[in-house]
Amino acid sequence: MSAIWYECKVKYRKTDDIGSQKVTTEPYLVDAISYTEAESRINEEMKAYVSEEFKITNIKVANYAEIHPFENADRWFKSKVSLVAFDEESGKERKTNMYILVQANDVKEAYENTVSVMKNTMGDYTIPAISESPIMDVFPYFSGEEEELEQLERFNALKASKPELVTVGETAENFIELETE
């Protein structure tokens, strides 16, 4: 079962660098089964970050197919990926769009991270758009079971590590050697 991500907007009083307070509304992503669980989860997560009162102003289902954290990245980018398939009946190319949320420091790095995520894709694809997302943080779901604790460790490790990029010029034989080592 794939994750359902909910975008939760949270309004709270934020103190800036010079010490003045300003009311701000920021979006966060939580992995949940329902709107009710998303509300409960964002309440629990925000209690750890916000010492004062806060209000959840909106919850909606986010349209991300996948979420990919990367090391030393502080912003989230929304990558539009168009999967290209050939329709044999009509003889035309058919594009299906999906959105991937990747962590990066700038658009160039977000493009590279998106290519890295898509490197094992069997079909053709294009990346027609990448834009900075307003998402402040992502909270995946883990129930505390041993397998899910391992997933949490991997998720946090991904936040702290950057995957190796494979160059386009490498041959299939070199790729097979990389996979078997």
Q: Are residues 49 and 71 in the same domain?
A: no
In a domain, 175, yes or no: no
Q: Are residues 52 and 125 in the same domain?
A: no
Among candidates 14, 9, 38, 34, which has minimal Cα distance to 24? 14
Query: Which letter does DSSP use for residue 105 in this model?
Result: S
pLDDT higher than threshold 90 for residue 20: no
Note the helical H segments in 30-131.
35-49, 107-118
Q: Are strands 5-15 and 21-31 parallel, antiparallel or unpaired?
A: antiparallel
In a domain, 82, yes or no: yes
pLDDT at 86: 84
Higher pLDDT, 175 or 147: 147
In a domain, 128, yes or no: yes
pLDDT higher than threshold 70 for residue 156: no
Q: Are residues 57 and 81 in the same domain?
A: no
pLDDT higher than threshold 80 for residue 6: yes
Higher pLDDT, 162 or 24: 24
Q: Are residues 79 and 36 in the same domain?
A: no
For the chain, list the strands marked E by DSSP: 5-15, 21-31, 54-61, 66-68, 75-87, 92-104, 124-132, 138-139
For residues 111 and 181, give the distance between their C-alpha atoms in angstroms, rounded to a whole number: 27
Percentage of the chain with pLDDT > 70?
Answer: 77
Q: Are residues 73 and 129 in the same domain?
A: yes
Q: Are residues 23 and 58 in the same domain?
A: yes
Q: Are residues 80 and 57 in the same domain?
A: no
Q: What total number of domains does the chain contain?
A: 2
The residue whose two tokens read 């009946």 is 89
In a domain, 4, yes or no: yes
pLDDT digits (tens, 9 = 90+) for 33-58: 999 999 999 999 999 888 889 999 99
Of 62, 78, 113, the position where a domain reaches its end is 62
State pTM to two decimals. Answer: 0.73
Q: Are residues 50 and 77 in the same domain?
A: no
Residue 118 CA, distance from chain mean position: 14
Residue 138 in tokens: 């992502």
pLDDT higher than threshold 60 for residue 80: yes
pLDDT at 160: 58
pLDDT digits (tens, 9 = 90+) for 83-123: 998 888 888 888 899 999 999 999 999 999 999 999 988 88
Non-local (6+) Cβ contacts of 33 within 8 A are: 4
In a domain, 173, yes or no: no
What is the span of the domain harbouring residue 21? 1-62
Q: Are residues 58 and 83 in the same domain?
A: no
Backbone angles phi, psi at 117, to 5 degrees: -65, -35
Q: Are residues 13 and 100 in the same domain?
A: no
Q: Are residues 71 and 55 in the same domain?
A: no
Confidence of residue 1 (pLDDT cuts 50, 70, 90): very low
